[in-house]
Amino acid sequence: MTELTPVKLNLSPATRLTLLLVTVILVCALFLTWNVKASWAFTLEFRGQKLISMVLVGIFIAISTLLFQTISQNRILTPSIMGFDALYILIQSIMIVVVGASSYSMLNEYTKWAIEISIMTGMMLLLSKFLFRGSAQSIQLLILSGVVLGICLSSINGLVFRMMDPSQSVVAQDAFFASFSSPPMALLQVSCLILVSCLVFLYRYHHQLDVLSLGEQTAHSLGINYSRLTQHVLILIAILVGMSTALVGPITFLGLLVVHLAYQLAGSYKHKILLPFAAILGVLVLVLGEFILQHVVAFNTRLSIVIECVGGVVFLALIIKQAKS
């Protein structure tokens, strides 16, 4: 496991968390009010829905990545290695081939969301049910199986993509990248309810997560039910990743980027600090990045593409650092 040395600042973890939260609030206010050309009512409603989606996705991805690294004992892994992104892309390809490009564009968003979240969450639950045997070794087997499954799904998607006509392939390529458009408010409300439930679980078990991060043997010796807690965390990861991907699409390296920054800047390895710190960082990266692309540089591209480029560089840097250590 790669050891990261936190940045030495003469601030307590709680103070750092407070400063980060204030920064995010200011950035969100700037995103809502900067360069308003239409009516305020329309602008706040449009940008507000988009802001809520970015807040939810940032929190979902950051928390799921941190939890995944906790149970895997590896700080260069993200849940996307389990094949979630490949599965999401395959779902889009199959729906486009089955219903057609024009019908796909008009597909009911609630139906589409329900299909995506059910399949992606179900895949993780099935993998954990048949491969997780309550030990750290079975976690490694689960991850390896997820990698193989992701490769298989990518190969199948390549075959499906070749079956498409030109109009379908254009629609498919657009669906393969994350888009922070304004999802329906009902979906955002459901996502908020699910997030609150997940946060209640994390608040209740954050002390046990600290012990879980020390390894299976230490957890057993300190009276933690390693198997049951890990199983619950896997289910939680599946829900969070499924919700995030179904809302906006796949973002592979965002979690790796913000969790790495959280380890460096939070000033603590306790989950009661790391979890909110990483979540707020995830929101900050998305909102600030979208604001810069839209209003500062007026760069006509998707934020997810920029995040993947930066996150990929960070991923390579972490691998090189781990190899040297």
Residue 300: its pLDDT value, please? 61
Q: Do the beta carbons of residue 58 and residue 51 sit within 8 Å?
A: no
CB atoms within 10 A of CB 217: 10
Using the predicted structure, report yes or no on whether residue 2 has a pLDDT greater than 60: no
What is the distance between the alpha carbons of residues 35 and 32, in angstroms, rounded to a whole number? 9
Residue 298: its pLDDT value, please? 63
What is the band of 325 on the pLDDT scale with cuts at 50, 70, 90?
low
Using the predicted structure, report yes or no on whether residue 295 has a pLDDT greater than 90: no
Using the predicted structure, report yes or no on whether residue 22 has a pLDDT greater than 90: yes
Residue 117: its pLDDT value, please? 86
CA distances from 31 to 23, 36, 48, 186 (A): 12, 10, 9, 22
The closest of 195, 199, 259 to 56, measured between CA atoms, is 195
Higher pLDDT, 102 or 232: 232
Dump pLDDT digits (tens) for 49-65. 889 989 999 999 999 99
Higher pLDDT, 247 or 196: 196
Compute the average pLDDT of residues 16-20: 93
DSSP 8-state code for residue 292: I
Domains and CATH numbers, the chain: 13-26+51-324 (1.10.3470.10)
Dump pLDDT digits (tens) for 150-161. 889 889 988 888
Residue 216: its pLDDT value, please? 84
Amino acid residing at 5: T
**Rg for the chain (alpha carbons), in Å?**
20
Using the predicted structure, report yes or no on whether residue 144 has a pLDDT greater than 90: no
Using the predicted structure, report yes or no on whether residue 25 has a pLDDT greater than 90: yes
DSSP 8-state code for residue 79: G
Using the predicted structure, report yes or no on whether residue 84 has a pLDDT greater than 90: no
